[in-house]
């Protein structure tokens, strides 16, 4: 198993009810697996996760990116503005 730290930002922190959590993921987990796991643990995040931005170790990540061991994963709401 792969132990990772997930940090929530802005409105996602409010929806989750905390600023971060430790998760155990199976080896070979991808960003989409992180989102699925978070949706199962935090129902308040379900609507926001499909459009949430993810970073792994401070670099933006995509759905199919692998999650390395002991990663720091940040979850941000989508950004808009002009």
Cβ–Cβ < 8 Å for 38, 45:
yes
Per-residue pLDDT of the chain (82 residues; tens, 9 = 90+): 899 999 999 999 999 999 999 999 999 999 999 999 999 999 999 999 999 999 999 999 999 999 999 999 999 998 765 5
Distance between CA atoms of residues 42 and 44, nearest Å: 5
CB 70 within 8 A of CB 4: yes
Class of domain 2-76: alpha beta
Burial 38-57 (b: 16+ CB within 10 A, else e): bbeebeebeebbeebebbbe
pTM for the whole thing? 0.92
Domain parsing of the chain, residue ranges: 2-76
């Amino acid at each position: 198993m792969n132990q990772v730290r997930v940090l929530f930002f802005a409105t996602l922190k409010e929806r989750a009810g905390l600023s971060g959590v430790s998760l155990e993921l199976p080896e070979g987990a991808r960003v989409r697996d992180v989102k699925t796991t978070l949706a199962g643990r935090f129902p308040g995040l379900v609507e926001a996760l499909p459009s949430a931005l993810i970073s792994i170790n401070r670099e933006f990540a995509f759905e199919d990116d692998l999650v390395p061991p002991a990663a720091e994963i940040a979850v941000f709401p989508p950004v808009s503005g002009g």
